[in-house]
Amino acid sequence: MAPLFTSDEIYTATGARPVHHAVGSVNSISIDSRELGPEALFVAIKGDRFDGHDFVATALENGAVAAMVSEGRAFRDRCIVVPDALAGLRDLARLARERCNGCIVGVTGSVGKTTTKEAIRIVFEAAGATHASIKSFNNHWGVPLMLARMPAATEFGVFELGMSAAGEIEPLSRLVRPNIALVTTIAPAHLEAFDGIEGIAAAKAEIFKGLEPDGTALLNADHDQIGLLVDAAHAAGVRNIVRYGFAAASDWHIESCVAEGNRSRASVRHGNDRFELVINAPGRHMVANGVAALAVASLAGIDPELAIAALARFGAPTGRGQQLLLGDPGKPLLLIDESYNANTASMTAALDVLAQTAAPGGRKVAILGDMLELGPNSAVLHAGLKNAVLASGAERIYLVGDEMGALADALGADRVQMHVRTTAELVDVIVDELAHGDAVMVKGSNGVRLAGIVDAIRARFQ
């Protein structure tokens, strides 16, 4: 099998200064000295908390064949010296993209990026050699790392592009050069960096600036900013625009959506064709993510029936709606893990899932954490969750974080069992309060660390 990169390719792509000790080919790229693949090149980037140059010796001792370091930081053999290590990683990413003739998809949006990326990955893997982003590696170092790892023989690739401020998606899109640029939805997120939701839409629309000639913009039509995205796509010279969603004018129109226990069944119309789609997750938002993958498959030339069969295996990833039945199968505890992220759109969607969920034999419990980075309107947006919480049918409500104080006030003391500042204050209370037969949803921004509550519930009831 051909190597990921030969040493000559690395030197040519990055303008690296030759090293004294010969470096052979590499078959993997890493920025973490603890996680090294076979024949790894360790790239010593400088992050917010750590400087990779401090771990070069460890990486080489752990088996890396070489380390790419910034000028002035080399101190031993097997160091490939470049002006800047992060720029060198981008150079390798650029080379990986240039040599790939496969269909490449870039995914962005306020909600559903990772889940939609995973749905597309599942479809692509059923059709051919696939490369995809892992976890949420979607920022200024995550995207080039994921792209640099892409083998030359890749037939299908899918990459997640994230941002926290304007101007961040465009360079990532120009690096990925997607054939299909997908925007999942626009919602209040990272509002502290924007004047309003229109600014968020404009920032997400930067993905169109890296779209390949004759590429396609694939847009969820179920939000108020769809017109702004269409205008931005046209302004970027995009000629092919495809819409999907529940909106009647969608090219991929979800005509019906029914929850069937932990699954969802949907009828989807595309032109004169109708498809029945089943996914292993409840919720209209999860169906929309699946339909996005179905549309991608069609655009990539994949048989829709092959895509539908693959999507039957698609479910919510960990922290993003994964449902777990814990304990005695006769009366389990149902845990809905939404602990990874939260904004008003995803919180409302999750509460809608809870509303449609029947407790196996006990109570419905909602554990909700702060939605972070919402700016000066945070209190209003948190309080605005009141109706969705009430409609969820949650019989016991626990709130975590300072921002959730606004929701606690809106709901009233008689409806909220506890409101605490930190997850640590709630863990022991929750595991003692819950019982087999309960259905409990845990939802909040990752920074609130509600995953600790999820882990504690799993440890007690599994």
pLDDT (tens digit per residue) in 353-409? 999 998 888 899 999 999 998 988 999 999 999 999 999 999 999 999 999 999 999
Q: Which tens digit of pLDDT belongs to each residue from 48-74?
A: 888 999 999 999 999 999 999 999 876
Q: Which tens digit of pLDDT belongs to each residue from 267-301?
A: 999 999 999 999 998 999 999 999 999 999 999 99
Distance between CA atoms of 332 and 375, rounded to whole angstroms?
A: 40
Torsion of CA 130, 313, 241, 99, to 10 degrees: 0
HSE-up of residue 115 (Cα within 13 Å, Cβ side): 31
The residue ranges of every structural domain in the chain are: 7-89, 100-311, 322-461
Query: Is the CATH number of domain 7-89 3.10.105.10?
Result: no
Residue 400 amino acid letter: V
Helix or strand holding residue 93 (H, E): helix 85-98
Average pLDDT for 245-255:
97
Average pLDDT for 320-325:
91
Helix or strand holding residue 458 (H, E): helix 451-461
CATH architecture of 100-311: 3-Layer(aba) Sandwich (3.40)
* Residues sharing a CB contact under 8 Å with residue 90, sequence separation 6 or more, in sequence order: 144, 175
Name the percent of the chain in helix, strand, coil, to the closest 5.
Answer: 35, 25, 40
44 token code pair: 């010593």
Chain-centroid distance, C-alpha 357: 24
At residue 210 the predicted structure's pLDDT band, cuts being 50, 70 and 90, is very high
Nearest to 153 by CA among 180, 129, 174, 119: 129
Length of the chain (residues): 462
Judge whether residue 1 has pLDDT over 90: no
Average pLDDT for 211-230:
97
Average pLDDT for 87-114:
97
Judge whether residue 20 has pLDDT over 80: no
The CA–CA distances, whole Å, from 305 to 130, 270, 273, 276, 292 equal 19, 13, 12, 10, 15
Decide: 243 and 252 in contact? Cβ < 8 Å.
yes
> Beta strand 156-160 with 79-82: parallel, antiparallel or unpaired?
unpaired
Judge whether residue 18 has pLDDT over 80: no
Task: Count Cβ atoms within 10 A of the Cβ of residue 437 and give its class: 0-12 exposed, 13-18 middle, 19 or more buried.
Answer: middle
pTM of the predicted model as reported, rounded to 2 decimal places: 0.90
Distance between CA atoms of 347 and 325, rounded to whole angstroms?
A: 22
Same fold, 7-89 and 100-311: no
Of the listed ranges 68-72, 122-126, 169-173, 437-441, the least confidently predicted one is 68-72
Distance between CA atoms of 435 and 325, rounded to whole angstroms?
A: 12
Among all chains, which residue has been given the structure tokens 């050069």?
177
Nearest to 64 by CA among 49, 83, 81, 77: 77
Judge whether residue 410 has pLDDT over 90: yes
Decide: 313 and 280 in contact? Cβ < 8 Å.
yes
CB-based contacts of 264-273 (< 8 A; 24+ apart in sequence): 266/290, 266/291, 268/294, 270/295, 270/298, 270/304, 273/304
* Residues sharing a CB contact under 8 Å with residue 71, sequence separation 6 or more, in sequence order: 17, 81, 82, 83, 84
Q: Is 223 helix (H, G, I), strand (E, B) or coil?
A: coil
Residue 231 amino acid letter: D
Judge whether residue 77 has pLDDT over 90: no
Chain-centroid distance, C-alpha 451: 16
Q: Is 356 helix (H, G, I), strand (E, B) or coil?
A: helix
Phi-psi region of 178 (alpha: psi -120 to 50; beta: other; left: phi over 0): beta
124 token code pair: 């692509």
- What are 366's strand-pairing partners? 397, 441
Average pLDDT score, the chain: 94
Nearest to 173 by CA among 119, 104, 117: 104
Q: Is 234 helix (H, G, I), strand (E, B) or coil?
A: helix
- CATH number for 322-461: choose from 3.90.190.20, 3.40.1190.20, 3.40.50.720, 3.40.50.20: 3.90.190.20
Nearest to 93 by CA among 46, 39, 161: 161
Annotated binding site for ATP: 109-115
> Beta strand 263-270 with 273-279: parallel, antiparallel or unpaired?
antiparallel
Annotated binding site: 109-115
Helices vs strands, H then E, count in the chain: 16, 19
Task: Compute φ and ψ for 150, nearest 5 degrees.
Answer: -75, 120
